Amino acid sequence: MVAQQFDLIVMGGIAATINGIAPADIGVLGGKIVAIGDIRGSGARVVDAKGLHILPGVIDTQVHFREPGMEYKEDLASGTAAAVLGGVTGVFEMPNTRPSTTTAELLADKFRRARGRVRCDIAFYVGASPENVAELAELERMPGCAGIKIFMGSSTGNLLIPDDRTLEQVLRNGRRRVAVHAEDEDRLRERAESIRKGGDVASHPDWRDVDTALHATRRLLDIARRAARRVHVLHVSTVEEIDLLARHKDIASVETTPQHLTLVAPECYEKLGTFAQMNPPIRDERHRAGLWRGVTQGIVDVIGSDHAPHSREEKAKPYPESPSGMPGVQTLLPLLLDHCHAGRLSLERVIDLTSAGPARLFGIVGKGRIAVGYDADLTVVDLRARRKIDNSWIASKCGWTPFDGVSVTGWPKMTIVRGNVVMRDDEIVGDAIGEPIKFTEGSW
Ligand code: DOR
């Protein structure tokens, strides 16, 4: 029994600590976990977690929050509100804003905007461009920087490193793991006119086909090996890449998304039309099954949401004027808990993919596990709650989700960031207390 003074005690839950999943109270002081076990503390705020599971705070390592420049789609306040409603305690935000985050000043500007407005902890990526190659090693070490992001193929925004020479320069300039959108720009351009069918979003995966992704990933792996640089392949969408990346685990880590694991072509295009359009695309069952094999065989390291909101009006434009991307930060955990309930992956694996994995891969300091001395980032979930996801629950400014009307088993009940309860029973509570995430390889 532990008797001491705490700021907060999460009492009576089943905690997924470093020593396993078992009943345990969690004592928090000064934002850190200070005790785990049978706690008899006093003077504390006590939250009752009876019947609930306490997971390490979920870290979503790929979100697009659109600020600055496209705040009508999302901003840092609305994006992080969506995050904590979905049980997410930390996010890595992408650099394809307007302007793109390519300089120290623009990165500092994002942190200025975040202060007092973000509800979870946050790190920002810096985008690689031909103009900032020489500064990347310095930029990636700035406090709160998640690392460098490369777009090998064009997507939303104008960040692009299409050729091998510049790609190699980028990879030679710095040390940290580089996150990469691997689609081959030349192949995209060559085939845009001949393959893409105006008005038919189901041709999206034909245009941005398996070889578009596979060629880029192959080129990336060759150059990463030459440059001896670790890379992180974002939103992997093909079984061919899973098989390839399985042979390169020493140098490349792998992300896939809940959308690619849950939606499937052609049904998603029949049901959702352009609202199912994203880059890389949702593909057929062969790929979805291959991605699940990647999850169960340990080839996939993290699941990120690629939260990429666009307004309903924009998404309703006829293909291909319709922008690619769907929101996802709020539905990432409910979908994964539902897959867990259905027996597709274990709760331990959910934790590995959404907190322990991101912390280990990116060298996050003090997060990703429930252990004494770590930040008290806790995602409290009800594994038995049966709930329907619907648009009215969505806090993103876009106001829609591709999973509207989908019932899931497993739901976030409470989100706690460094000891602050920021969401309880689908309500945002308290102030916007988010801070920059710290990294072992950054400077601070
Ligand atoms: O579908 C996508 N949308 N893929 C990306 O890589 C970018 C994202 C966005 O920012 O809209």
Q: Is 181 in the pocket of ligand 1 (CB under 6 A)?
A: yes
Beta strand extents in 369-435 (DSSP E only): 378-388, 407-417, 420-424, 427-428
Residue 441 falls within a domain, yes or no?
A: no
Cα of 243 from ligand 1 centre, angstroms = 24
Q: Is 308 in the pocket of ligand 1 (CB under 6 A)?
A: yes
Please report the sign of the dihedral spanned by the C-alpha atoms of residue 379, residue 20, residue 368, residue 115: positive
**Pairing relation of β-strands 25-29 and 8-11?**
antiparallel
User: Which of 66, 277, 307, 324 should be mutated for ligand 1, with most atoms under 8 A from CB?
Assistant: 324
Judge whether 338 counts as a catalytic residue: no
Instruction: Read off the DSSP letter of residue 411.
Output: E
Residue 336 falls within a domain, yes or no?
A: yes
Is residue 69 helix, strand or coil?
coil
Q: Ligand 1: which atom is nearest the Cα of residue 234?
A: 6
Cα of 44 from ligand 1 centre, angstroms = 44
Distance between CA 328 and CA 263 in Å, rounded? 13
Report the number of distinct structural domains present in the chain: 2
Residue type, 295: V
Is there a contact between 23 and 49 (Cβ–Cβ < 8 Å)? no
Q: Give ∠ CA 144-149-155 in degrees, rounded to 5.
A: 130
Q: Ligand 1: which atom is nearest the Cα of residue 157?
A: 10
- Residues 80, 11, single domain; the answer is no
Residue 93 falls within a domain, yes or no?
A: yes
- Residue 46 backbone class (left: φ over 0; alpha: ψ -120 to 50; beta: rest): beta
Q: Output the pTM of the full model.
A: 0.98
- Residues 206, 354, single domain; the answer is yes
> Using CA positions, which residue lies closest to atom 3 of ligand 1?
325
Q: What pLDDT, on a 0 to 100 scale, did the predictor assign at position 320? A: 97
Q: Is 66 in the pocket of ligand 1 (CB under 6 A)?
A: no
**Pairing relation of β-strands 420-424 and 178-181?**
unpaired
Alpha helices, DSSP H, located in 228-277 = 239-246, 258-262, 267-272
* CA distance readout (Å), 43 to 28, 146, 257, 274, 312: 12, 37, 42, 54, 48
Residue 264 is part of which domain span?
57-367
Distance between CA 210 and CA 123 in Å, rounded? 31
Percentage with pLDDT > 70 across the chain: 98
- Residue 2 pLDDT grade (very low, low, confident, very high; cuts 50, 70, 90): low
Cα of 290 from ligand 1 centre, angstroms = 22
Cα of 64 from ligand 1 centre, angstroms = 8
Q: Is 156 in the pocket of ligand 1 (CB under 6 A)?
A: yes
Active-site entry in 301, 306, 338, 377: 306
Whether residue 17 is predicted with pLDDT greater than 80 in this model: the reply is yes
Is there a contact between 354 and 332 (Cβ–Cβ < 8 Å)? yes
The last residue of a domain, from among 308, 332, 367:
367
User: Which of 274, 306, 329, 396 should be mutated for ligand 1, with most atoms under 8 A from CB?
Assistant: 306
- Residue 206 pLDDT grade (very low, low, confident, very high; cuts 50, 70, 90): very high
Is there a contact between 313 and 321 (Cβ–Cβ < 8 Å)? no
Three state DSSP letters for 161-184: CCCHHHHHHHHHCCCCCEEEECCC
Q: List, for residues 73-119, the tens digit of each pLDDT value.
A: 999 999 999 999 999 999 999 999 999 999 999 999 999 999 999 99
- Residues 61, 45, single domain; the answer is no
Domain CATH number, residue 17: 2.30.40.10
By the 10 Å C-beta count (0-12 exposed, 13-18 middle, 19+ buried), 401 is classed as buried
Residue 443 falls within a domain, yes or no?
A: no
Q: What pLDDT, on a 0 to 100 scale, did the predictor assign at position 158? A: 86
Q: List, for residues 165-188, the tens digit of each pLDDT value.
A: 999 999 999 999 999 999 999 999
- Residues 384, 329, single domain; the answer is no
Residue 407 falls within a domain, yes or no?
A: yes
The H or E element containing residue 111 is helix 104-114
Distance between CA 119 and CA 384 in Å, rounded? 26
Cα of 63 from ligand 1 centre, angstroms = 9
